[in-house]
Chain A
């Protein structure tokens, strides 16, 4: 009994560590914008998936189930990051709440992204870098669920139903996150300009 369970666990692990893990890493990286944190989220999701293998009723749905766990891990990391920022903001001498994590995380990650962008004429490239940088910093100001919904919808082309499933919320709630997230992002970008 225990041996068969261990076998099933290792089979699931080897199955998920391939393509689903890469897809999960893509989502985690787009949400967290940090390689180490993205890898950590995927590893944690793999461990949790293997531990709760009993919850998986349909083996064919393992990939989607795994991506849902990855999203949950990312949401947790985003919330923790936000809480950390809030706590740092309360401490005297820490300055603006959002300032510390931004300077800590963004340069390297944005640089990585910029490197991946197709080459453009210098002036346009600079303008698009600035635009993208602003977009990332505005995305940081959205709630974890709004941000996840937007990234999954427009970055990874998931349907609203899939987003609801991955966030673990009702369809109507997922729609609300999308609409409010977009509206808030627009307002933030208008303020920036």
Chain B
């Protein structure tokens, strides 16, 4: 339940007549003090003269702010667009890392296959040279810079003959 002091505070704050709380407000020191506050607060208001050229100053200041903010917005949009484009280009043209190069993956797959084939069925012996040729024939791998050309030690002439259907 509200105390009479609270009722007085509410009525004073909202500018309503005190009514039945008026008697209490006249005798209670705190309520008297509170009732005097609006008058004191009224004294805080001053008709401040903003000075000559106020409207012009405000207009110029606001226009400057609008321009600065527009430039900032354009700069931020441009920066975001450049960043997005750069990211896109990097993503599309990036070199796959060594771990994920087709050559490595193929090597790994080949090794796995080799191991599997050696364990359960030793009779299905895979010709290493043929396997190498098959790998070489893969255009995506062959076109890739990461193919280890220098590691090829055997002369390729016999295999050319093999591809052409003739035996060396």
A30/B45 in contact, CB under 8 A: yes
Minimal Cβ-Cβ distance residue in B for A189: B33
Q: Is the CB of A155 within 8 A of B41?
A: yes
Instruction: Tell whether, in the assembled complex, residue B41 and residue A135 are in contact, meaning their CB atoms are under 8 Å apart.
Output: yes
Residues of B near A189 (CB, < 8 A) are 33, 37
> Given A47-B65, A183-B34, A186-B30, does the pair A22, B54 have CB atoms closer than 8 Å?
yes
Judged by a CB distance under 8 angstroms, whether B57 is at the interface is yes
Is A131 among interface residues, defined by CB-CB distance under 8 A?
A: yes
Known: A47-B66, A50-B66, A182-B9. A42 touches B42 (CB 8 A): no
Binding-face segment, A12-20, A56-64, A78-86: A12-20
- Nearest CB in chain B: distance from A159 CB, A: 9
Which of B9, B34, B38, B61 is the one whose CB lies under 8 Å from A154? B38
| Chain B positions 10 through 21: 1 when the CB is less than 8 Å from some CB of chain A, otherwise 0 | 101111000000
Nearest B residue (CB) for A179: B13
Shortest distance between the CB of B11 and any CB in chain A (Å): 9
* A181 to B12 Cα, complex, angstroms: 12
Chain B residues near A113 (CB, 8 Å)? 46
Contact of B9 among A40, A131, A156, A183 (CB under 8 A): A183
Cβ of B23 to closest chain A Cβ, rounded Å: 19
| A25-B50 contact in complex given A44-B65, A135-B44, A190-B33, C-beta closer than 8 Å | yes
Q: Is the CB of A156 within 8 A of B58?
A: no
Q: Which residues of B contact A183 (CB under 8 A)?
A: 9, 34
Give CA–CA (A108, B38) in the complex, Å.
25
Q: Quick check: A182 and B58 within 8 Å, CB to CB? A: no
* A154–B42 CB distance below 8 A: yes
Q: Could you say which residues of chain A place their CB within 8 Å of the CB of B66? A: 47, 50-51
* Binary interface encoding of chain A residues 32-52 relative to chain B, with 1 for a CB under 8 A from any of its CBs, else 0: 000100011011101100110
Say yes or no: A182 contacts B59, CB within 8 Å. no
Asked if B1 lies at the interface with its beta carbon under 8 angstroms from chain A, I say: no
Contact indicator B69/A51 (Cβ below 8 Å) = yes
In the complex, what distance in Å separates the CA atom of A21 from the CA atom of B51?
Answer: 13
Q: Determine the residue in chain B with the shortest Cβ distance to A30.
A: B45
Interface pair A30/B46, CB less than 8 Å apart: yes
Q: Are B33 and A17 in contact (CB under 8 A)?
A: no
Least distance between B9 CB and chain A CB atoms (Å): 5
- How near does chain A come to B147, taking the closest CB pair, in angstroms? 57
How distant is B51 from chain A, measured CB to nearest CB, in Å?
8
Whether B58 lies near A17 (C-beta < 8 A) is yes
Please report the C-alpha to C-alpha distance between residue A22 and residue B15 in the assembled complex, in whole angstroms: 27
A17 to B14, CA, bound (A): 32
Residues of A within 8 A of B15 (CB): 153
Q: Is there an interface contact between B40 and A182, defined as CB atoms closer than 8 Å?
A: no
Q: Which residue of B lies closest to A151 (CB)?
A: B44
Q: Name A187's closest neighbour in chain B (CB-CB).
A: B30
Q: Which 7 A-B pairs rank lowest in CB-CB distance, beginning with the nearest?
A: A155-B45, A46-B62, A43-B61, A154-B41, A47-B65, A178-B13, A179-B13
Instruction: Name 22 interchain pairs, CB-CB below 8 A, sorted by A.
Output: A25-B48, A29-B48, A30-B45, A35-B48, A35-B50, A42-B58, A46-B59, A47-B61, A113-B46, A131-B40, A132-B44, A135-B43, A151-B41, A151-B45, A155-B41, A155-B45, A182-B12, A182-B13, A186-B33, A186-B34, A186-B37, A189-B37
